[in-house]
A and B are shown apart, each in its own frame.
Chain A
């Protein structure tokens, strides 16, 4: 038996290599957002999340130092340079404290901003390593039953929805992910549409589908969640219409939307855990 395995190890390896992804594909719910995870996957994901969270923590001071000065020169220059570097470092730390202060003020204000919701705070620890999807990994910072498909918000507006949940960690699919779909309504004229992620290479834009010619959407119009579909509560800020391109002879308009949330600077988010119970 062992001899047989040794003789055909190349073929067996190739078979296993193809079989594992096939099994993953067959056992999953396809491309839909919000998938359940098995207990071993929850624990494995939790362990990987801990490692990534530790790395993010270690990287913070390093990334803060990027853009530092050069070395070399006379003794006096060295001393002055060291002094400047020290002052810069202190300045950077103070700016960091001020930014944290502002962020914490916003976080303290979150419950008053969304008084009807049970909010579970989470911290962004990483993002997916491909440019094809738009997913952030978050560490859940409080007790609470976070489940797939729950909406995620920040102080700026709607971020996306929970995709998969692990032990203490979760994947959040952003609004601009091509898998994301959110029922939306225009604040100005209550025109209904569906916000879908574009997954563009250079931006976080989304599009609003199913807006007819009669809907009269204009650049600058604010889109909020409509509450239809039961996943997202009503009136969460999604973003602003950036461009409207009427299609000649077509029934629907092409509308591009800029999300209200700056996903590049996302640090703290909140999962709304009581949408179904409200």
Chain B
């Protein structure tokens, strides 16, 4: 998927989550789509392209999250860097292996936020994040499989030869 198209798709997904949860009156559940997108980019894209896409998403994500500026983004960047290290090491296809990787990514995301809030002298925020670690890990693992499959399918629709070896004249 081209850079701009992926950015638009990711933003639509993230904005849709906020609108949907608000419309349904769901108050305590979140799909953690920014984390899911960071994990997808880390595992599926090459390091530089995925990284630049994530950079382009960080500021809008800060707006959507409305938290303490920079903290959520920093945790996303760490998740991306670690997931980038796993690229090629995790089993192909969005199945159990990638769900486990996503769970680890979510755990890391929460731990980085807890650490940053503690460093900023905000223990109440650390506690609020710590409360949600277990549900977040479970939700991110499940949602990553679904969203990962959807995004991969979209990738193949836009670029059918993606990920396949092709013969080229040199």
Q: How far is the CA of A203 from the CA of B72 in the complex (A)?
A: 22
Query: Do A52 and B132 touch across chains, with their CB atoms under 8 A apart?
Result: no
Within 8 A of B (CB), among A103-135: 124-133, 135
Contact (Cβ within 8 A) B20 A59: yes
- The count of A-to-B residue pairs whose CB atoms sit within 8 angstroms is 182
Q: Do B125 and A22 have beta carbons less than 8 Å apart?
A: no
B119 → A minimal CB distance (Å):
10
Whether B28 and A203, one on each chain, are in contact in the complex, defined by CB atoms closer than 8 angstroms, is: yes
Q: How far is the CA of A9 from the CA of B80 in the complex (A)?
A: 16
The CB with the most chain B CB atoms within 10 A, among A27, A136, A201, A204, is that of: A201
**B76, closest chain A residue (CB):** A21
Kindly state whether residue B137 has any CB partner on chain A within 8 Å.
no
Would you call A212 an interface residue if the criterion is a C-beta within 8 Å of the partner chain's C-beta atoms?
no
Report the interface size for chain A: residues with CB under 8 A from the other chain.
Answer: 63
Q: Tell me which of B16, B33, B67, B77 has the highest count of chain A C-beta atoms within 10 A of its own C-beta.
A: B67
Partner of A44, one of B59, B73, B117, B128: B59
Inter-chain contact A201/B135, CB cutoff 8 Å: yes
Is A277 an interface residue, CB under 8 A from the partner? no
B18 in the interface, Cβ–Cβ < 8 Å?
Answer: yes
Among the listed B20, B48, B65, B122, which residue makes an inter-chain contact with A13, where contact means beta carbons less than 8 Å apart? B48
The interface-forming segment of B50-58, B147-155, B159-167 is B50-58
Determine whether the beta carbon of A25 is less than 8 Å from that of B70: yes
User: Is there an interface contact between B128 and A178, defined as CB atoms closer than 8 Å?
Assistant: yes
Contact of B132 among A44, A201, A203 (CB under 8 A): A201
Closest A residue to B49 by beta carbon equals A13
- By a CB distance below 8 angstroms, the chain B residues around A20 are 55, 58-59, 73, 77
Give the shortest distance, in Å, between B87 (CB) and chain A (any CB): 12
Q: Is A39 an interface residue (CB 8 A)?
A: no
Are A178 and B124 in contact (CB-based, < 8 A)? yes
Tell me if A149 counts as interface (CB < 8 A to partner B): no
Are B30 and A129 in contact (CB-based, < 8 A)?
Answer: yes
Distance in angstroms between the alpha carbons of A260 and B37 in the assembled complex: 36
Q: Given known contacts A10-B47, A55-B16, A201-B28, is B124 in contact with A60 (CB within 8 Å)?
A: no
Q: A164 — which chain B residues lie within 8 A by C-beta?
A: 66
Asked whether any CB of chain A lies closer than 8 Å to the CB of B29, the reply is: yes
Among all A-B residue pairs, the 4 with the closest Cβ atoms: A199-B128, A25-B70, A24-B70, A13-B51
Residue ranges of B at the interface with A (Cβ–Cβ < 8 Å): 11, 14-34, 47-48, 51-52, 54-55, 58-60, 62-74, 76-77, 80-81, 113, 117, 120, 122, 124-125, 127-129, 131-132, 135-136
